[in-house]
Amino acid sequence: MSTFVLVHGAFRGGWSWRRVRPRLIAAGHDVHTPTLDGTATGLATWVDQVVGLLETEDLDDVVLVGHSQGGVVVREVAVRAPDRLRRLVYLDAAVPDPGERAVDVAPVPPDDALLPPRGTLVPPRPLTAGGDLDEATVAWLNERLVPTPFAPSLDRASTAEATVPATHVFFADTPPAYPCGTTRARLDARGTPYDVLDGGHDAPLTRPDVVADLLLRSAAPRLVVGAPIYRKTPTRGTQ
């Protein structure tokens, strides 16, 4: 049995894993899907919350997954609590470099003078159907999207490198202007391998079988760092 902790992205909650979670449980695994504090005053609030979950539940040998903005959080958790983790999975995630802010992982470097105040709650933009995101899922999502506190995006990542083995996975149909596109471009520049799967940014809801299969493979104890976990050649939307 493996233990998974799945950390959601911006404007979402633990509910965003509801189609993946039962598949992992059915395979005999322990799964935790925390909802990050919607009133967080800084990145440390979220990191403390996830580290607290690991400690309170006495979780070890964890596969820690960060989707989208969740990548910012799980990177810091890995720096804080590496002994409790087996592997990191960055799923279409924005991943700051050491000492960098989440707002810096943007297609265009931000002008600090134009950024909203630290205490801002950023409202979600309603989603529309398209690609693998159907009308029913869009309606379900839009009913649940919540504002995201801006403060965590202004805090710098630790200057330490995370030493936990990590896997980066991207979805072929995610718009290149998303912050995860910056992370992907950096991996290209560094020659760091990653995987690309068919699907859009909300693949945990639109392609749960693919995501669950990916996570089950990532839990394999003999997985070689940097080796492909699961690859399906994208047919569209590649960069």
- Would you name the residues annotated as active-site residues? 68
Do 30 and 3 meet the contact criterion of CB atoms below 8 Å apart?
Answer: yes
Which residue type, as a one-letter code, is found at position 103? V
d(CA 219, CA 88): 10
**Which residues are within 8 A (CB) of 102 and not within 5 positions of it... i.e. 6 or more apart?**
43, 69, 72, 94, 96, 152, 153, 154, 155, 157, 179
